[in-house]
Amino acid sequence: MTALLELSNVGMAFDTPTGRFEALKDVNLKIAAGEFVSLIGHSGCGKSTVLNIVAGLLRATDGGVILDRREVSEPGPERAVVFQNHSLLPWLTAFENVELAVRQVFRKQKSKKEMRDWVAHNLELVHMGHAMDKTPREISGGMKQRVGIARALAMQPRVLLMDEPFGALDALTRAHLQDSLMAIHAQLGTTVIMITHDVDEAVLLSDRIMMMSNGPSATIGEVLPVTLPRPRDRVALADDPGYHRCRQKVLRFLYEKQRKVTPLSGRQEPAPSCLTGTDAPPRGRG
């Protein structure tokens, strides 16, 4: 298997007022085309940092990222990002938000009409066809996140990067979007890296779960392949012993091996936030 995306010995150190802070050390990761990988770990361990390095929004201080045999040095639409808080331009409609991305990527390849059709197609894909002309403030949080996903998919990225895409949503909406995402992944075969705090979400969606150790000098502690057959059904899986074994392994990693003994100063995290399936308290992303 040749990897589509490869992180080798990625390290990241931040210069802070109190000195150098080594957030990541020796992160190694190989992802095949079409794979769905999730990153899970305690808050502040460095998940967003890994994702931002892959996106090119941050430059690793050590090691490097290779996508399609080419080194990643800057952000680009072939590594589309779905941000945690949707990040839609509030002055544009859903359609225009996606259109901006499409125009930027397909300006030279598609005609105006083809581009419009492609925008509409992607909005239909996330079931937002009926609200294309609404602005972000006129639609709900879940709908905004759908538009954000449509925008990312419309770029036809080699890798889709998602930073806690459903973190800010209620449980029902989240389940809905997870199902949509699974369907889209099955249909398009997009390669996905998703950060999550939610153990159930990770097991349900992923082919592999990367469990990160706590920082500083965080790295990928364990990798859990999830071999449950697709398509997966959340209700059927509730009684599936294989599903529970996976869940158990992730929970054991998070709460036994990587238990947070001393919370980082100034950021007290209630440890069992992942257990309940609700999200950790919101905090600014790195």
Closest CB to other proteins among residues 57, 228: 57
Among 24, 31, 50, 101, binds other proteins (CB under 8 A): 101
Residue 74 touches other proteins, criterion: CB under 8 A: yes
Q: How many residues belong to the site for ligand ATP (CB under 6 A)?
A: 16
- Choose one: 39-47, 85-93, 105-113, 248-256; the region binding ligand ATP (CB under 6 A): 39-47
Q: For residue 80, which of 109, 55, 107, 113 has the smallest C-alpha distance?
A: 55
Three-state secondary structure of the chain: CCCCEEEEEEEEEEEECCEEEEEEEEEEEEECCCCEEEEECCCCCCHHHHHHHHHCCCCCCEEEEEECCEECCCCCHHHCEECCCCCCCCCCCHHHHHHHHHHHHHCCCCCHHHHHHHHHHHHHHCCCHHHCCCCHHHCCHHHHHHHHHHHHHHCCCCEEEEECCCCCCCHHHHHHHHHHHHHHHHHHCCEEEEEECCHHHHHHHCCEEEEECCCCCECEEEEEECCCCCCCCHHHHCCCHHHHHHHHHHHHHHHHHCCCCCCCCCCCCCHHHCCCCCCCCCCCCC
Which range in 55-63, 166-174, 186-194, 270-278 contacts other proteins by CB under 8 A? 55-63
| 160 scored as a contact of ligand ATP (CB under 6 A) | no
Contact partner, 75, from Mg ion, ligand ATP, other proteins, none, Cβ < 5-8 Å per class: other proteins
Residue 49 binding: pick among ligand ATP, Mg ion, other proteins, none (C-beta 5-8 Å cut-off by kind): ligand ATP
Residue of 12, 40, 44, 48 that binds Mg ion (CB under 5 A): 48
- The answer to the question of residue 59 lying near ligand ATP (CB under 6 A) is no
Q: Judged by CB under 5 A, does residue 285 bind Mg ion?
A: yes
Q: By CB under 6 A, is residue 45 in contact with ligand ATP?
A: yes
Torsion of CA 160, 161, 167, 173, to 10 degrees: 0
273 interacts with, out of Mg ion, ligand ATP, other proteins, none, CB within 5 to 8 A per kind: none
Is residue 215 a contact residue for ligand ATP (CB under 6 A)? Answer: yes
By beta-carbon proximity to ligand ATP, the closer residue of 23 and 162 is 23
| Binding at 255: pick from Mg ion, other proteins, ligand ATP, none (beta carbon under 5-8 Å per type) | none
214 lies in the binding site for ligand ATP (CB under 6 A): no
Exposed, middle or buried: residue 179 (CB in 10 Å: 0-12, 13-18, 19+)?
A: middle
Work out how close the CB of 259 gets to other proteins at its nearest, in angstroms, rounded to a whole number: 32
Residues that bind Mg ion (CB under 5 A): 48, 285
Residues that bind ligand ATP (CB under 6 A): 14, 16, 21, 23, 41, 43-49, 215, 283, 285-286
